[in-house]
Amino acid sequence: MRKHISASIWPETKNDAARQLSELHVSSRGQRRSRRARRGSAVFTSRSLNDRILCFEFERQLLTQLGDSVEVVDSTAGFRYFDVRDLLGFVDGTANPVGADIEDAVLITSNDAGEAGAAAVGGGYIVVQKYLHDLSAWNKLSTETQERIVGRTKFDNVELDDAGEEEQKPHKQLATIEKDGVEYDIVRDNMPFGNAGQGEFGTYFIGYSKSLWIVEEMLRRMFVGVPEGRHDRILDYSRAVTGVYFAPGFGCASGFGDGD
């Protein structure tokens, strides 16, 4: 179980890494909407528990402790879909780092102190985006068209070749961040969710990263496009409705209530 705190609280602390959340935004032109760090919510919790009863009890006790100091703005129960797929039908999280590379991708270390501040060591950033899908429109596309948009084959999860410099790039390519020949990973822990009776279908995207610029660049590439104007075509069938959080390391969190 993990707790993450949003941009609405961190600017009041002395944590340099967290205060950067108040500046996170991706501006765009044309019909693509700007995505900004959500200011309306304070705490985001993710629970990696298979037992829904334990999830419910954790949520009940947490809200009891917080009392009237918080207001629930969203409560979404996700699930694991067939073969770890999203509701668009594609395998999700294929490019995640493994082993020791996971901590290298998500945890701020002392080597990052120049960018983030020593108090942030052991913490990291979480981009939390609740995507609502227009499955009716998506399912009218041919499988081949869907595959070109995603950048992978639908049934056997094989990567397609990257698009050229001036061509429309697939989601897989736009969400891959490289700088000076180095690829920067994030860890994706997405959860599908839905209510068939209400016609609501979506993906709760949860991405962990130790550097905020990686998150911002990923969003810029998706919403603005590379080259500009050629946005991620998944966004023609999906819309994001949430923002970005910071997860404190133990050293930072243990100081809460001490005037910070």
Catalytic residues: 92
Query: 76: which residues sit within 8 A by CB, 6+ positions away?
Result: 130, 193, 204
Cα distance between the two ends of the chain: 23
Nearest to 188, CA basis, from 224, 214, 149: 214
Q: Which two tokens stand for residue 219?
A: 């969003």
Q: Are 162 and 242 in contact (CB under 8 A)?
A: no
Phi-psi region of 229 (alpha: psi -120 to 50; beta: other; left: phi over 0): left
DSSP summary character for residue 150: H
State the residue for tokens 């061509």: 167
**Is residue 174 within 8 Å of 32, Cβ to Cβ?**
no
For residue 5, CA distances in Å to 39, 230, 243 come to 11, 33, 11
Q: Is the dihedral of CA 163, 191, 86, 95 positive or negative?
A: positive
